[in-house]
Structure 1
Amino acid sequence: MTFEKLLRMYRFEEALALYDAYYERMADLGEKRAHLGDALPIAWVPLIFHCTYFDNLKGILNDGKLRPSEEKSYVALTELPVTELTRFRSLRPKPFEIAIGFPRALLESKGLYQPAYLKHATQEVKDKFKDAPSGYVELSDDLGALHEVRIPGPLPIDDAVWVLSAKRNEDTRKLDLPELKPLRDLGVAVSYWHPSHQQGMIREPVFRRVKRNEEGHLVSLESVGKHYLPEMDNYVEREINPPAGKSFNLRFPKELRPDTLADGWEGPFSKYEMAAFCYEELKKKFPGRIGEVQPRIVME
């Protein structure tokens, strides 16, 4: 397994762990255990997203980069929480269909900035900023409600860790469209774009399947939520004797535990446990490159 693919998985799992903590803290507010300090939700997002059209995806993947639009010097992204990204789908007459997520910690090292929207500022203030570098100030626009941030120049698609797609195969209702396959080949997580899907995915436990070589080195790592586990014998069927009438069979679900899983799947694990697992594997397999990880969660 390459360093890049494992690093991408780590950054994705770390982001989900932070989202999970965010929503858990939000649920705690108002409860007896909520108090000032560590019970407050984090006030920033681990991933920032660029929203675009599905038809643009092939060109982006072929080019390997998100490029600034014509006459722009930057790529625009949003810091909206992942469950609120659907606000972008109603921004234009034709809804956006793709959201590409990047780790904020990574983009901070590449010049990430928030533009100043001065449409409603006084003329005196505007005059002070009129000679600012292109893209850093907007004198006649106000998109502050969309939590826009920008990155100078092109943004490599290799830095992405999560893609949300509002388009899927309507026959199978799966994300098995050929346009999305290159993302999976890169190791980028792909999910259906809907707020309930994102929130459910963030809070559900994770199952993983690990393959190692004879030396014990990691060869491949798969992770899925409970909903996407391959079908297994997770039910037991028993005969029921009713108080009247004929007996009948009824299926009862079994909890997913190590002794009920099959095909090499292990779990369940929390998002943090998955992130910690990926980090430890990075340390073991690529000790000389661990400084490139830039973790938001201090793992040491």
Structure 2
Amino acid sequence: MEPKEVDLKIPLLELTDKPIINNGDRFSVGRESCISLKLHGTFNLSYQFEKVTDSNLINKYRELKNISANREDIVNSLEKIIKKTPSSNSWTNWDYQNGGYSYSDTRYGSPMDKIKVNDDGLYYMWIKAYKSGLKTVYGVSLIDNLGTIVPLEGISLSSNYDIRVGDERKLDLEYKPTQASNREVTWESEDKSIATVDSEGRVKGIKAGSTKIIAISKDGNKRATTVVNVTEKGNIYAGSSDNGKVVNDSLNNKQNVNNTNQGGANNKETIISANDKDNTTAKGRLPQTGESLIIISSLLVIGLATIFGIRIYNKNFKGI
């Protein structure tokens, strides 16, 4: 049994007389005011709910709802973008009110005292029926449980973010007000050779440099910009000092602590710095040759700078 594609011009709901139903509408409040079935000669009806996940459909529906109270106008505008068949085969039997129906009269049913979906959102209400010859036909209605539409007043990002080449992080976009209904945005990177950004606002560092990342609201009226600074990995400097200047300023210059102490350089200090923009240093006197060492590595986070330091202790020396 193949489903028949719904002719949306008769209208969106082929099986009922209301194309859009509000959550809480009743099927069985009386013959004059209930939602009536439109197809004659059908039997074995069933129904199911399916939450609408298509943001384009939801936003279009909200837009039309704001400018028109005529539901037929809304239906005609949505007919090309709504689904034609349900995603699930899970159906609930529809029992007619009074337990019967007439082939010559428009019928009204009561699958429940009133329409009820549990969560906020826009829903399809699918209705399935069989006609003579065991043909399957489907009808669909939209169940509106979206609640009050809260306009988006603005969006914002932190002024800058720091990441390393190859790393990723999701940018934290703030909405004003926080309960704004339209939270859909697009993301752009001014220089994709430095950093890229995906549709979820996740940035990836490509090469060292800085670039702007821009978030734009769906209507294009709200924008937020941040600067992403990308640095090379392993940009940590270590070396010995000579009158406050870094002498060995690269981790590539491999340094042996014991060799540093040989030759009488007993009063030199070790300086460890994250990069040339961060002058935070860790200092300590190296013990003399022959003294035993305890080496403890530590990871410090100061502001946005991450510093990997090595503290050197002489287990017999308490002055450090």
Category of TM-score, reference length = shorter chain: under 0.3
TM-score (norm 1): 0.21
| Larger RCO (alpha carbons 8 Å, 6+ apart) | 1
TM-score (norm 2): 0.20
- Rg larger in 1 or in 2? 2
